[in-house]
Amino acid sequence: MEDKVILEAKKLKKYYRRGSEIVRALDGVDFKIKESEIVSIVGPSGSGKTTLMNLIGCLDKATEGVLKIGNTNVISLGENDLIKIRRENIGFVFQRFYLIPTLTVRENLELPLIFANKSVNTKKILDLLKEVNLEDKEGIQVKHLSGGDKQRAGIARALVNDPKILVADEPTGKLETKVGEQILKLFKSLSEKSLAIVIATHDLELAQATQRIIHLQDGKVIPKEKSDLYY
């Protein structure tokens, strides 16, 4: 059975004013991302990459167009509804991890459940830690972890609310090459469970190792035949 579309943009635009200038951060973007797909978003500074990731993560609202998460067009939703969509559908992985260093790995995973007023499922947390190869480090304070293990903990935390989409912003940017390759391997394993993974990156080797590349420039998607990222 064909994987279903979990994320879709049609003529997606995001404009904002800077002094007397109107900045077209996104200027009519179209794409579809399916369950179990790993897609990288690349582009130079100012291309619209961060803006697009913020829209996908429901951290900002588009000016115009359609952005569907599942069957819901999120661009017309109010803040409370966006928060609900975000909590129920999206997990975030960051370059700087944003873990609380004085808490243990396990305590960091419990926090999103507490914030969402959900009961803490100990078995689920231990299963997640096993999935990211951190089962022997649940009681260690995050400040004592290596960079790779911090990112694994960040990924586990992003998965604790069972998201449908994982949004990863430069997830290997602060990691050694070998560790970055391990993180990509982990992403590939996670995607097999119907999770869509969207990675914003400047790392072209990482981008070319994903299933598909969305190349942005000046707020638009560059067609594959016009991009130098494909060979």
- Number of domain units in the chain: 1
Q: Per residue in 89-136, pLDDT tens?
A: 999 998 888 899 999 999 999 998 888 788 888 898 999 999 999 999
- Domain membership of residue 161 (yes or no) is yes
> Is 73 part of a structural domain of the chain?
no
DSSP state at residue 215: E
Query: Which spans in 91-136 are helix H?
Result: 105-115, 122-131
Q: Beginning with the edge strand found earlier in the chain, give each strand of the sheet holding 72-73 in spatial order.
A: 21-34, 5-18, 64-69, 72-73
CATH number at residue 144: 3.40.50.300
pLDDT digits (tens, 9 = 90+) for 195-222: 999 999 988 888 999 999 999 999 999 9
| Per-residue pLDDT tens digits for 21-71 | 999 999 999 999 999 999 999 999 889 999 999 999 999 999 999 999 999
Q: Is residue 90 part of a domain?
A: yes
- In percent, the amount of the chain with pLDDT more than 90 equals 68
Tell me how far apart the alpha carbons of residues 197 and 119 are, in angstroms, rounded to a whole number.
26
The answer to whether residue 3 sits within a structural domain is no
Q: pTM for the full model?
A: 0.91
The whole-angstrom separation of Cα 225 and Cα 231 is 10
Residue 51 within any structural domain of the chain: yes
Asked if residue 9 is part of any domain, the answer here is no
Rounded to a whole number of angstroms, the distance between the first and last alpha carbons of the chain is 29
Domain residues for the domain of 147 are 36-60+86-226
Question: Residue 7: which of 93, 86, 97, 67 has the closest Cα?
Answer: 67
Tokens of 74: 């999120």
